[in-house]
């Protein structure tokens, strides 16, 4: 009975080396923390002064500004590695 040909496996090639892990931009963490703290301070000052500060002409919209600052800071956390 004839023998079948042996199957040759392809030569092993290791997967390509991974690139160095990406790091955060230098500005990311300070800006992120500053926005969150500034937003919190903006809201606290608005409540304490009964909307007379930081910008008295816009009244309760000061709260919206504070929340936008906080949300922007949290948005930057998605870029943190």
Higher-pLDDT residue of 6, 37 = 37
Beta strands of the chain (E only): which ranges? none
What is the value of pTM for the model shown? 0.74
Residue 22 within any structural domain of the chain? no
Q: Tell me the pLDDT band of 38, cut-offs 50, 70 and 90.
A: very high
pLDDT at 81 (0 to 100) = 86
Least confident of 27-36, 37-46, 52-61, 68-77: 52-61
Residues 44-59, mean pLDDT to the nearest whole number: 92
Instruction: Give how many domains the chain has, as a whole number.
Output: 1
For residue 52, the surrounding DSSP H or E stretch is none
The pLDDT, as a whole number, for residue 18 is: 84
In a domain, 25, yes or no: no
Q: Which helix (H) or strand (E) holds 16?
A: none
CA 34 to CA 10: how far, in whole Å?
Answer: 56
Residue 16 lies in a domain: no
Domain boundaries, position 43: 32-79
User: How many Cβ atoms are within 10 Å of 5's Cβ, its own excluded?
Assistant: 6
Q: Give 27's pLDDT tier (boundaries 50, 70, 90).
A: very high
């Amino acid at each position: 009975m004839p023998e079948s040909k042996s199957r040759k496996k392809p030569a092993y090639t290791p997967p390509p080396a991974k690139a160095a892990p990406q790091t955060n931009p230098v500005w990311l963490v300070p800006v992120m923390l500053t926005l969150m703290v500034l937003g919190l301070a903006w809201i606290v000052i608005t409540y304490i002064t009964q909307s007379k500060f930081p910008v008295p002409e816009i009244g309760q919209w000061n709260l919206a500004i504070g929340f936008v600052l906080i949300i922007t800071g949290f948005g930057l956390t998605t870029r943190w590695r």
